[in-house]
Amino acid sequence: MTNTDTAAQLASATRTPSPRTYLMCRPEHFTVSYKINPWMEPTNPTDTKRALAQWQTLYDTYLELGHTVELVDPVDGLPDMVYSANGGFVIDNIAYGASFTYPERQAEGPAYMDWFRERGFDLRVPANTNEGEGDFLLVGNTILAGTGFRSESRSHSEVASVFGREVVTLSLVNPSFYHLDTALAVLDPLTGDENANIAYLPSAFDAKSLAILQDRYPDAIIVSEEDASILGLNSISDGFNVVIASRAIGFERQLRERGYNPIGVDLSELLLGGGGVKCCTLELRR
């Protein structure tokens, strides 16, 4: 047994999964009919049946891990509604709604807010443009907040007021990583484990933001451009099990070395719309 294997076993023994509740949306109307990010190309054919099958595997994976999954009804004419992470940001039963940048997605905001309202969440209607958990990630008691392409920086002070938590602004500079959750993964959102509580792609951030990440999370996993380019960082962790893109083999190895249990899922069809595992998953923190 190598030293790396021993270290992984010791780290694994300290990591404990915790049950989560997620909100998802079946991709019944998924297609790529417009272009609002570099991943989308309307001239390339999409296969809705294949997207549904891949999404179902992700859904089933969450259930097998002991998590609860709630569903919002898909709306005809909103092909990106499958990316439920963008539909809001939820902590302590407070749901901060989304207000989308592009006209093609703006009707998703009210659809998700209606769902929150009908299920008894304390809904806060946003005054500023933001795309939910795509750009807001909870790490311990801190909210990391992305800006640069979709969410306005003014939404950061708004979300700080709504949740009464520290909000740290991070500026994105690469249009292929237009949401924070495409460039940074939270691995221990409840514990804030200083050993490896996040993973990220350095080149996705400006110099100031990179310095913040390096200072706050010196032991973070640094993910390769290759793995990030297939949205390997767009992942979901329960503190032990980490659901990632199946092709992100380098990130998979890094996670195992830190004592996590990576689980690969193929969402290649939904990647055509610029989304992966995390994009399809909104955590409901009640």
**Active-site residue numbers?**
179, 279
Sheet strand arrangement including 167-171: 136-139, 142-147, 167-171
The CA dihedral of 165, 169, 170, 175, to the nearest 10 degrees, is 110
Query: Comparing C-alpha atoms, which of 98, 55, 23, 75 is closest to residue 273?
Result: 55
Tokens of 238: 């329960």
CB 131 within 8 A of CB 151: yes
Annotate 244-270 with DSSP letters as a single string.
EETT-HHHHHHHHHTT-EEEEE--HHH
Distance CA 277, CA 32 (A): 18
Unique residue bearing structure tokens 């592009």:
102
Helix (H, G, I), strand (E, B) or coil at 132: helix
DSSP state of 172: B
Tokens of 21: 């509740």
Q: HSE of 7 in the Cβ direction (CA atoms, 13 Å)? A: 9
253 contact partners, CB below 8 Å, separation of at least 6: none
Q: N- to C-terminal Cα distance for the chain?
A: 43
CB 185 within 8 A of CB 200: yes
